[in-house]
Structure 1
Amino acid sequence: MAPAVQLGDDLNVSPLGFGGMALTPVYGEVDPADALRTLHHAVDAGVSFFDTADVYGGGSNEELIGRLLRERRGEVQLATKFGLVGSPAGGYTDVRNDAAYIRQAVDRSLRRLGTDVIDLYYMHRRNLHVPIVETVEAMAELVQQGKVRHLGLSEVTAQELEEASAVHPIAAVQSEWSIWSRDVERNVVPAAAALGVGFVPYSPLGRGFLTGTVDAASLGDNDFRRNIPRFAPDAAAANQAVVAAVRAVADELGATPAQVALAWLLVQGRRLGLPVVPIPGTRKRDRIDENLGALALDLSPAQLDALGRASDAVVGSRSADPTWVSQGRE
């Protein structure tokens, strides 16, 4: 495993993390015992940075990771989130950023996780009716109380990040970023770089699409990707061009498409001047090993140019509601 990466606010994590949402029923049913074995394998392989949220599986994902922490808390940097009411699969019914809710949410998460401190606590989404300064002030109180070590924000705009950073150091922004989701590079990434904030890309493999293994036409009824415009039949067909570009580079390097997609993000971080720690999620233990192979991959300038051209041709929004993510509020 490559050396640890320092995000903002002196938070050191493994160079790849693990996104826990894959171990909830958003892509189909999950075997909890097998999911726990997957988490243990990730730690064995050198992954120390684990990401979950109170809303994943109605709290069951935090409980699952709590089972890992019982045995391996000292080997894990733990990130979780507050703010969403509802579920990824069934839909969200509310966004709560108020101080009273935050105080309740952190205690519920600590109880489910079975730990006394959260290493990185994110605001999951913005409620535009609550000033972000008030939200971060409430989050900062949790640091003072010893319940949280570092603060993070998900899907914020550059202006929101700047306002938040004036209240308390922000360790990381977590937003979707990949070869086919590059809108954050316009404003959010430069702001994070200027402020010394790390970036944690979620869905770095395009919710699986960039691996070339996802048939958008055959997604199950309970697969929430059915609601994302770029997975609609016409858009998904057009977006096979970016998959072909990723696969072509992978073939040149004797690598896999997933490794190329992750390596591209790591290069982008270096090019744009900020620490980047992707958090791919998977249910399969061999995929963890495959993903870690990206750390040793070198992409040539010509390969980077080819991937950049392909990314420019992506069709369809990354969210059914553009204001749900930073892209729609910039």
Structure 2
Amino acid sequence: MQYRTLGKTGYEISTISFGAWAIGGTWGEVNDQDSMAALHRALDLGVNFFDTADVYGDGHSERLIARLRRERPEPFYVATKAGRRLSPHTAGGYNRENLRGFIERSLKNLDVEAIDLLQLHCPPPEVYEQQEVYAVLDDFVREGLLRAYGVSVESVAEALSATTHPNVATVQIIFNAFRFKPAEEFFAAAREREVGIIARVPLASGLLTGKLSRDSTFAQDDHRAFNRHGEAFDKGETFSGVDYETGLEAVERLRPLLPQGVTLAQFALRWILMFPEVSCAIPGARNPQQVQANVAASDLAPLSDEQMAEVKRVYDELIRPEVHAMW
């Protein structure tokens, strides 16, 4: 396992970390026994950073991570998110009273006295401009409820706006071979401002595993079935906003680039780590085998200039026209 510094937090975290959305919900059926085995295997393999949110299974994902902490002695970092419990989800809801309530609930779910990293959970765009929201978070750090805070964003514009605030330590953003815009328009600013980058949706909701096909089906409660056009939340969270058929075509273009013995998922994760500004990628895993396969990407040899150029070519020809201007 390789480790990188997570922005202003100073935490040294595993470059392949653990995204805990899938063990919480909206990915079809989940099994807690398998989820706990996956979490334990992640620690076994050197993962020391787990990303969750208060809405993943209505706190279920947070509570599983709390159970992991009780069952394992070694230290690890946990990032959670707040804001999406608001209904309606409006900018005015990001106030001191609501944020304190969300944080206190997550502290209870996680069974900790302070949250390592709290992230605003893809708030309405105007929130990123509201200095009073960051002032509230600064107060919570001084109060000892939080050790650090960052933002989880949908767009590059939101990321750039958020990082003008000096105490924003991290940005979580969709970044993968089907979502190249952050590398072109945000990474340089993040580097200059010492902001850590957490790459979420690193496998484009499974498209970049190479295991999906035109015949694949998804459970009714899987967002890949119900949110392809943004019916429930931003459509960019599902398949990175890429049309499913286009994504399958792009995957076939990428397959010839794979080194012997390397899966497409591992290749896609190693591609993300070719960008030094990225602190970690957070693929999900619902069993130990998936964890093991994901973590192996951290120690793969760097991709060649030719491989990187071909990934970019596939993006430019198939993906860029669809998604680049949207996020």
TM-score for the superposition, normalised by structure 1: 0.85
Residue 123 of structure 1 pairs with residue 120 of structure 2: yes
Residues in 2 aligned to 1:148 and 1:127: alpha-carbon distance in whole angstroms = 22
Q: CA deviation at 1:110?
A: 0.2
Residues in 2 aligned to 1:181 and 1:187: alpha-carbon distance in whole angstroms = 12
Residues in 2 aligned to 1:54 and 1:259: alpha-carbon distance in whole angstroms = 28
Question: The residue matched to 1:22 in structure 2 has which SS?
Answer: coil
Residue 244 of structure 1 pairs with residue 247 of structure 2: no
Equivalences for residues 85-164 of structure 1 within 5 A: 85=85, 93-95=88-90, 96-130=93-127, 131-155=129-153, 160-161=158-159, 164=162
Residue 42 of structure 1 pairs with residue 42 of structure 2: yes
The answer on whether the counterparts of 2:151 and 2:168 sit within 8 Å (CA) in structure 1 is yes
Residues in 2 aligned to 1:127 and 1:235: alpha-carbon distance in whole angstroms = 24
Residues in 2 aligned to 1:185 and 1:132: alpha-carbon distance in whole angstroms = 26
The answer on whether the counterparts of 1:246 and 1:261 sit within 8 Å (CA) in structure 2 is no
Q: CA deviation at 1:126?
A: 2.0
Partner of 1:286: 289
Q: CA deviation at 1:182?
A: 1.7
Residues in 2 aligned to 1:128 and 1:306: alpha-carbon distance in whole angstroms = 34
Specify the code of the residue in structure 2 equivalent to 1:248.
Answer: P
Residues in 2 aligned to 1:114 and 1:94: alpha-carbon distance in whole angstroms = 26
Equivalences for residues 1-330 of structure 1 within 5 A: 1-2=1-2, 4-9=3-8, 10-72=10-72, 74-85=74-85, 93-95=88-90, 96-130=93-127, 131-155=129-153, 160-161=158-159, 164-215=162-213, 217-226=216-225, 227-229=227-229, 235-250=243-258, 252-267=259-274, 269-270=275-276, 274-297=277-300, 298-312=302-316, 313-314=318-319, 328=326
Q: Tell me how many residue pairs correspond in the alignment.
A: 310
Pair 160,99 (structure 1): closer, same or farther in 2 beyond 3 Å: farther
RMSD (CA atoms): 2.5
Superposed CA offset, 1:170-226 (max 9, x none)? 221101110011222332323212211111011101111111112465222221123
Superposed CA offset, 1:229-256 (max 9, x none)? 4769x93222222212332222x34211
The answer on whether the counterparts of 1:120 and 1:148 sit within 8 Å (CA) in structure 2 is yes
Residues in 2 aligned to 1:165 and 1:308: alpha-carbon distance in whole angstroms = 27
Residues in 2 aligned to 1:198 and 1:240: alpha-carbon distance in whole angstroms = 31
Q: Which moved more, 1:158-167 or 1:186-195?
A: 158-167
Residues in 2 aligned to 1:103 and 1:62: alpha-carbon distance in whole angstroms = 17
Partner of 2:233: none
Pair 224,161 (structure 1): closer, same or farther in 2 beyond 3 Å: closer
Unpaired runs of at least 5, structure 2: 230-237
Specify the code of the residue in structure 1 equivalent to 2:64.
Answer: L
